[in-house]
Amino acid sequence: MMDKHLHIVAHDVPLPSDSGILKELLFLIKALHAQGILLHVHCFGNQNPESLVPFCHELHLYPKKQGHKGYTLTTPYAVSSRSDSSLVNRLEADRFPILFAGLKSVSPLLDASFSKDRKIVVRMLRNEQLHFWNLYSLCSWGIQKLFYAIECIRFGRLMKKISVGSIQFAVSPEYKGLKTRSLNAYTVVDQLIEMPFLMPQSGTGNFCLYHGNLGKTENTYTANWLLKNVFNTLEVPFVIAGDNPSEELEEAAHEKMHTCMVSNPSEKELQDLIKKAQVNLLPSFVEQCNTGLLYQSLALGRHVLTNTKGACGMGLDATFHVAESSAGFIEMTEALFNQPFDATAHEARASFLNGKYNNENGVNALMRMLY
């Protein structure tokens, strides 16, 4: 039997401590490698990809274009800053199938010299147009707000441009739940999450936790919202953990005696924090349509508290708690902080985690699209 090859193009280097789109890609790379697929992985960014090396037949890194060098008048900056002629040349050197991990990675599809006579799949966990509109809504007036508005418009145009011809789209069930008028046809593939599951912790923890990539606007907004609207009043220990926090957020996290921050934790450190927390707070103020943070907290932690947008329409009220207002978060956090994680809650959580999602089904669905 001939070897099967696959190009995977990612907008960044997927690392173990990531969440959402990039973390799913890391699981997928491991799963496809286990199937014997020879992977030619292409990533933008300058982070150390050492954790990927054992699973790749080839691994190539490309620099992101900074400032005006990555700017065009028509293409989203998140896409045009991730374009490279050497990537196009490597993809053109054969006719292996290509998996693009998210819209930010599709710059080769816009290159006139790129040939599309092969199997091409764009994996989408998030509606980028809606995501940038949400970011626009979070910002006060200024250059950043204008940038998000322009990115929103350009992602809408980009979808119309590439959603024609033979390109296939693999979307998550949560993405399908949003308005997808820009996609005429797609295949629903469950989001891949880490297997096997590590079961939730019993008993009682001694602090509350919010975690996420703090270099992202939406996560910085959420961390600040919790500090100002929940833990400004509720005096129970609160930890914020994540990569690349701003100096302003770090200062805000250390203003009070009962709040603090763990910057750039390792994967093991982050998992330990999730396990030891009594309440994992994961509200969202964008319709994120990737639930990596939520899955990880359900798999490792005790009580999980989110809001409707953070739940992303999954209807999992048997496995986590939902509040909407700051008053609701204060009341629910205070109640859960003194409530042990009992056998009934543990059983409901285990049933969901072991029964609802099956990574093998997701991998097989993508394989059918690619070969």
Residue 43, judged by CB atoms within 10 A of its CB (0-12, 13-18, 19+), counts as buried
Q: Are 28 and 192 a contacting pair, CB within 8 Å?
A: yes
Domain boundaries of the chain, sorted by first residue: 5-195+358-370, 208-340
**C-alpha span between 63 and 81 (Å, rounded):** 9
Query: What whole-number distance in Å separates Cα of residue 302 and Cα of residue 341?
Result: 6
Q: Does position 16 have pLDDT exceeding 80, yes or no? A: no
Whether 5-195+358-370 and 208-340 share one fold: the answer is yes
Q: Identify the band that residue 296 occupies on the pLDDT scale cut at 50, 70 and 90.
A: confident
Report the Cα–Cα distance between both ends of the chain, in Å, rounded. 14
Of 235-244, 271-280, 349-358, which gets the smallest average pLDDT?
349-358
Distance, CA of 344 to CA of 361 (rounded, Å): 28
The pLDDT of residue 238:
97
Task: Give the residue among 14, 7, 84 at the shortest CA–CA distance from 50.
Answer: 14
Alpha helices (H) along 54-115: 77-80, 85-92
Tokens found for residue 232: 């400004």
Domain 5-195+358-370, classified CATH 3.30.479.10, yes or no: no
- Give dist(CA 128, CA 78) in Å, integer: 10
Read off the tokens for 132. 């940038």
Q: What is the pLDDT of residue 316?
A: 57
349 close to 317: Cβ distance less than 8 angstroms: no
Q: Per residue in 297-352, pLDDT tens?
A: 888 889 999 988 877 666 555 678 889 999 999 999 999 999 998 888 888 887 77
Q: Which H or E run contains 221?
A: helix 217-229
The whole-chain average pLDDT of the chain stands at 85
Query: In angstroms, what CA-CA distances link 225 with 106, 210, 284, 325, 339?
Result: 34, 11, 10, 11, 24
pTM attached to this predicted model: 0.83
pLDDT in tens, 93-110: 999 999 999 889 999 999
Q: How far is CA 63 from the centre of its chain?
A: 21
The architecture that CATH gives domain 208-340 is 3-Layer(aba) Sandwich (3.40)
